[in-house]
Copies of this chain bind each other. A is one copy, B any other.
């Protein structure tokens, strides 16, 4: 079986990006190409997978071929992968399988979203349509509302209050402060986050990720060609993925995401690791409650102990056993839907290579994971990365 490494990764700054879709993608791809240590040229790419949710919501279509044409990859077999907010997490999984299949040696996985070009109405549509439509969206439930229901239920079932979510917001803003590609770079005090503008009770503005533009791009290589491009790759040790019901009422519990649990189980088993082996995790915190639940579903805290985990600051960089969202996560780094999954992998690549801003480095990190969720848990992809090829 072929092993797979990341040899390059790059992205745009997340936020309100001045470029159009083609420009954003070209920028992310160029940054990825230039991050390869040696000998790289886009003509060496065998296959490409590009994640995007709302691309068809803009005027442009045939996304995949359009973007490869405008980033020196014309001719490469390419397709768009769409899986709501987990689009590029699955693009990455598919790229990894393409290499493992023996059909390709160098594969690009990327993602892109231009949210700020959409009218408020279309933005609401493209966000809402990722959840359940028939029972939730058309009845008026928005995404903040969906996660607010989860939070309320969590507080009801377990020893936790909104304060635990506030700690997550404060931590992620702190982590993202020095991240040059982050959307929102500012320190947020506990009081400010606690008393933020109410979006969907109990979630305030500081519990919700921003609406970001952005593109991200990762270059994967088969083990037998890695040495041509770098002596210091990051290995993609495993990929786990799963799906679940879209609507909350179809799930036995709304305080856990079964898709996350199943995806993580597969990814850990394949990589031969336990949750306690993970040094840092890029986690899908579209809302602070999502990070809290993920902390449990990924096995970093016991069930019902996610609140305490947050309260005690156990996910803070270089303080506890694990760093949760060293990039700042979706809350601070931003959430350009289709770009988020491979954007997480960009952070992992840079952390494990030691090329992030020095103030942001997770010390002695050997193993990092990414966790990318589609909808309110309908799909999930978890990937494990390591400095070493074998754990």
Mark A residues whose CB is within 8 Å of B. Answer: 1, 53-54, 56-57, 59-66, 68-69, 73-84, 86-87, 90, 93-94, 96-103, 126, 128-134, 138, 239, 241-246, 250, 258-259, 262-263, 374-375, 378-379, 381
Contacts and interface: CB of A to CB of B under 8 A. Distances in A.
Nearest to A22: B134
Contacts of A103: 97, 100, 239
Contact of A62 (B1, B80, B130, B263): B130
Copies of this chain, tallied across the complex: 2
A64 B379 contact: yes
Interface of A is mostly: mixed
A243 B76 contact: yes
Given A59-B138, A60-B129, A65 B244 contact: yes
Contacts of A134: 60
Contact of A56 (B57, B258, B378): B57
Contacts of A87: 79
Nearest to A84: B62
A130 B243 contact: no
B81 A81 contact: yes
B78 A80 contact: no
A159 to B, nearest CB: 30
A53 B134 CA distance: 20
A83 B80 contact: yes
A158 to B, nearest CB: 25
28 contacts: A1-B102, A53-B56, A59-B129, A59-B133, A61-B128, A61-B129, A61-B131, A62-B84, A62-B246, A64-B82, A64-B83, A65-B84, A65-B244, A65-B379, A69-B243, A69-B245, A69-B250, A75-B242, A75-B244, A75-B258, A75-B262, A77-B243, A77-B263, A80-B82, A80-B83, A81-B81, A96-B101, A97-B98
Contacts of A379: 62, 64-65, 77-79
Counting chain B CB atoms within 10 Å of each CB, the highest count among A75, A259, A263 belongs to: A75
B97 A62 contact: no
